[in-house]
Homo-oligomer: A and B are copies of this chain.
Amino acid sequence: MLVVMQEGAEEAQTQNVINRLVSMGFIVHRSSGMLHTVLGGVGPVGDVDPIEFEVMPGVKECHRIVSPYKLASRHFKPAGTRIQIGDVEIGGDQVVVMAGPCSVESRDQIGQVAEAVAASGAKVLRGGAFKPRSSPYSFQGMGEDGLKLLREAADRNKLLLVSEVMDQTQIPLLAAYVDILQVGARNMQNYNLLRELGALRKPVLLKRGISATIEELLLSAEYILSGGNYDVILCERGIRTFENSTRNTMDISAIPVVKALSHLPIVADPSHATGRRDKVLPMARAAVAAGADGLLVEVHHDPDHALSDGAQSLYPSQFAELMNQLRIIAPAVGRSV
């Protein structure tokens, strides 16, 4: 903790800050040679919000100098995490593509889509059985029946399966069917859910909230890691900005930023980030060019009749074209697809 006193702060104010730091367990180093007295505190962090000091009389500003997350930091594991599931490795040399419909709708639908994406080179099938919808009047998903259909389609096409868990009560159910449990953007700070996932021994795909900073994303990962579950995959899926020509603004720079700060793999979801089919290919290519470890892409065999998110679902032929483009791009970053 670095506390910078105001120019001309009174000695009593400085002492007051020192006393508070000490009472919180910090060892304090004082540097008074400068225009501004600076107090450096070494000690137990995580808990202390710099604003607590910034509102004290005589204080100009305060900075936390130890990251509030530890297990998620690159420093903790410089080589980078590789998550092995069956014969698929996430965070390794291959860019792993996860594809499928927004929601599972029927055996026929999921079967057709799974076959198509497997044929083009996807390694993981995605699809929702429980859907968080902003309107209470929208389709809410098939539930457990959907999970069964997803598992069946994945197995038939030798794909892994990822699907979303909406709250902690659903964890056992999801864990019985899927290979990777997905935490949606709206749940990124559902701490009871994160804590329970920390106790699980299955990989978790954690999506960034649309208004979450990268530090907050890593703090949410820390919840899971601190429970002993080290297989966390991060996912960039767009942030909310003033620009509304796409549904969200895909923050491609989050990919190299996360790579520098953390050892965890990061994938990108251009479908939700843009909300429009015609922007998915360019943004998927951009994510891989920027160094993403994988992609999450919505594909539907008949998007015009999809029960949800049809507008952002690729036709199977577009998905095949995308995979071909990625095969050209990946070598530029030392990867294959």
Contact = CB atoms under 8 A, between A and B. Distances in A.
A331 to B, nearest CB: 6
Nearest to A260: B278
A295 interface: no
Contacts of A47: 135, 137-139
A143 interface: no
Contact of A288 (B195, B257, B275, B289): B289
Query: How many monomers of this protein are in the complex?
Result: 4
Contacts of A166: 191-192
Given A2-B63, A46-B135, A211-B242, A279 B253 contact: yes
Interface in A278-295: 278-279, 282-283, 285-291
A38, A245, A331 pick with most chain B CB within 10 angstroms: A245
A202 interface: no
Contacts of A245: 213-215, 253-254, 257, 261
A80 interface: no
Interface residues of A, number: 112
Nearest to A186: B189
A3 to B, nearest CB: 11
A287 to B, nearest CB: 7
A119 interface: no
Interface stretch (A82-90, A108-116, A155-163, A218-226): A218-226
Interface in A130-174: 132-139, 166-169
B211 A210 contact: yes
Interface of A: 2, 4, 6-8, 20, 27, 29, 31, 33-36, 38, 40, 42, 46-47, 49, 51-52, 54-55, 60-61, 63, 65-66, 68-69, 75, 132-139, 166-169, 186-187, 189-195, 209-211, 213-216, 219-220, 222-223, 226, 239-247, 249-257, 260-261, 273-279, 282-283, 285-291, 304, 309-312, 325-326, 328-329, 331-333
Q: Which 8 A-B pairs have the closest CB atoms?
A: A211-B211, A46-B137, A289-B289, A286-B286, A328-B332, A285-B289, A51-B311, A282-B290
Nearest to A281: B256
Contact of A241 (B239, B309, B310, B329): B239
